[in-house]
Amino acid sequence: MNETGFLQIFIYLLALLLLSKPLGAYMARVYQDESIVANTWFAVIERGLYRLCGIQAEQDMRWQQYAGALLVFNLLGLLVVYALQTCQDLLPLNPQALPAISTDSALNTAISFATNTNWQGYAGEASMSYLTQMLGLTVQNFLSAASGMAVLVALIRGFSRRNTNSIGNFWVDMTRSTLYILLPLSLLLAVVLVGQGVVQTFDRYATVKLQEPQTYSAPALDADGHAVLDAQGQPLTQTQQSQEQTLALGPAASQIAIKQLGTNGGGFFNANSAHPYENPTPLSNFLEMLAILLIPAALCHTFGFLVGDSRQGWTLLAAMTLVFVALIFVTVPAEQHGNPALTSLGVDQAASNQQPGGNMEGKEARLGIVNSALWAVATTAASNGSVNAMHDSFTPIGGMIPMWLIQLGEVIFGGVGSGLYGMLVFALVAVFIAGLMIGRTPEYLGKKIEAFEMQMAAVIILIPPLLVLGGTALAVMTEAGKASILNPGAHGFSEVLYALSSAGNNNGSAFAGLSANVPFYNYLLGLAMLVSRYGLMIPVLAIAGSLAAKKHVPVGPGTLPTHTPLFAVLLIITVLMVGALTFVPALALGPIVEQLHMHAHP
Partner 1 sequence: MTSYFRPAATLLLLMTLLTGGLYPALVTLLAQSIFPAQANGSLIQDKQGQAIGSALIGQSFSQARYFWGRPSATAPYPYNAAASGGSNLGPTNPALSDAVAQRIQALQQLDPDNHAQVPVDLVTASASGLDPHISIAAAHYQIKRVAKARKLPESVVIALVESHSEPRQWRVFGEPRVNVLGLNLALDAAAQTAQP
Q: Interface residues for partner 1 in 499-528 (CB under 8 A)?
A: 511-513
Taking CB under 8 A as the criterion, the residue among 206, 236, 480, 577 binding partner 1 is 206
Taking CB under 8 A as the criterion, the residue among 95, 276, 333, 535 binding partner 1 is 276
- Stretch touching partner 1 by CB under 8 A, among 114-122, 215-223, 406-414, 521-529: 215-223
Contacts of 518 (CB under 8 A, 6+ apart): 104, 480, 483, 484
533 is an interface residue for partner 1 by CB under 8 A: no
Helix, strand or coil, per DSSP, at residue 363: coil
Taking CB under 8 A as the criterion, the residue among 28, 152, 154, 274 binding partner 1 is 274
- Nearest distance in Å: CB 230, partner 1: 18
- Nearest distance in Å: CB 551, partner 1: 30
Taking CB under 8 A as the criterion, the residue among 19, 100, 286, 454 binding partner 1 is 286
Q: What is the DSSP letter of 197?
A: T
Taking CB under 8 A as the criterion, the residue among 387, 427, 463, 530 binding partner 1 is 387
365 is an interface residue for partner 1 by CB under 8 A: yes
Q: How many Å is the Cα radius of gyration of the chain?
A: 24
53 is an interface residue for partner 1 by CB under 8 A: yes
- Nearest distance in Å: CB 429, partner 1: 32
* Number of residues lying near partner 1 (CB under 8 A): 133
Contacts of 387 (CB under 8 A, 6+ apart): 272, 273, 274, 375, 376, 379, 509, 510
Contacting partner 1 within 171-190 (CB under 8 A): 171, 174-175, 178, 183, 186-187, 190
- Stretch touching partner 1 by CB under 8 A, among 281-289, 378-386, 432-440, 563-571: 281-289
- Nearest distance in Å: CB 11, partner 1: 7
Which of 27, 533, 576 minimizes the C-alpha distance to 305? 27
285 is an interface residue for partner 1 by CB under 8 A: yes
Closer by beta carbon to partner 1, 96 or else 164: 96
Taking CB under 8 A as the criterion, the residue among 32, 201, 243, 478 binding partner 1 is 201
Taking CB under 8 A as the criterion, the residue among 281, 329, 333, 474 binding partner 1 is 281
Contacts of 349 (CB under 8 A, 6+ apart): 338, 339, 342, 343, 357, 358, 359, 360
Four-residue CA torsion sign, 283, 289, 292, 294: negative
Q: What is the 3-state secondary structure (H, E, C) of 44-103?
A: HHHHHHHHHHCCCCCCCCCHHHHHHHHHHHHHHHHHHHHHHHHCHHHCCCCCCCCCCCCH
In terms of Cβ atoms closer than 10 Å to its own Cβ (0-12, 13-18, 19+), residue 52 is exposed
Contact 443, 472 (CB under 8 A): no
44 is an interface residue for partner 1 by CB under 8 A: no
Contacts of 360 (CB under 8 A, 6+ apart): 349, 369
Give the H or E element holding residue 293.
helix 282-306
- Stretch touching partner 1 by CB under 8 A, among 228-236, 386-394, 412-420, 522-530: 386-394
Contact 437, 430 (CB under 8 A): no
Taking CB under 8 A as the criterion, the residue among 139, 317, 544, 548 binding partner 1 is 139
- Nearest distance in Å: CB 81, partner 1: 10
Helix, strand or coil, per DSSP, at residue 243: strand
Contacting partner 1 within 58-117 (CB under 8 A): 68-69, 72-73, 76-77, 80
Taking CB under 8 A as the criterion, the residue among 123, 330, 454, 474 binding partner 1 is 123
Closer by beta carbon to partner 1, 213 or else 565: 213
Closer by beta carbon to partner 1, 109 or else 371: 371
Contact 86, 564 (CB under 8 A): no
**Cα angle 390, 395, 400; round to 5:** 85
Contact 107, 82 (CB under 8 A): yes
**Main-chain phi, psi angles of 246, to 5 degrees:** -95, 125
Taking CB under 8 A as the criterion, the residue among 246, 455, 478, 564 binding partner 1 is 246
- Nearest distance in Å: CB 18, partner 1: 16
**Main-chain phi, psi angles of 595, to 5 degrees:** -60, -45
207 is an interface residue for partner 1 by CB under 8 A: yes
- Stretch touching partner 1 by CB under 8 A, among 156-164, 321-329, 367-375, 469-477: 367-375
Taking CB under 8 A as the criterion, the residue among 259, 275, 533, 550 binding partner 1 is 275
Taking CB under 8 A as the criterion, the residue among 138, 310, 321, 507 binding partner 1 is 138
The Cα 460–Cα 153 span in angstroms is 18
Give the H or E element holding residue 324.
helix 310-337
- Stretch touching partner 1 by CB under 8 A, among 22-30, 455-463, 577-585, 592-600: 592-600
Contacting partner 1 within 4-43 (CB under 8 A): 4, 7-8, 11
- Nearest distance in Å: CB 118, partner 1: 15
Taking CB under 8 A as the criterion, the residue among 52, 90, 223, 477 binding partner 1 is 52
- Stretch touching partner 1 by CB under 8 A, among 193-201, 423-431, 475-483, 548-556: 193-201
305 is an interface residue for partner 1 by CB under 8 A: no
The Cα 96–Cα 111 span in angstroms is 25
Q: Hey, how many other C-beta atoms are within 10 angstroms of the C-beta on 212?
A: 6
Q: What count of Cα atoms within 13 Å lies in the side-chain half-sphere of residue 471?
A: 29
Contacts of 44 (CB under 8 A, 6+ apart): none
Contacting partner 1 within 325-364 (CB under 8 A): 338-339, 341-342, 345-349, 352-364
Contacting partner 1 within 473-492 (CB under 8 A): 486-491
What count of residues does the chain have?
Answer: 602
559 is an interface residue for partner 1 by CB under 8 A: no
The neighbouring-strand residues paired with 208 are 245
The Cα 424–Cα 417 span in angstroms is 11
Closer by beta carbon to partner 1, 371 or else 574: 371
Closer by beta carbon to partner 1, 98 or else 322: 98
Closer by beta carbon to partner 1, 555 or else 588: 588
Helix, strand or coil, per DSSP, at residue 215: strand
Closer by beta carbon to partner 1, 401 or else 460: 401
Taking CB under 8 A as the criterion, the residue among 118, 255, 380, 407 binding partner 1 is 255
Contact 110, 78 (CB under 8 A): yes
417 is an interface residue for partner 1 by CB under 8 A: no
The Cα 467–Cα 479 span in angstroms is 19
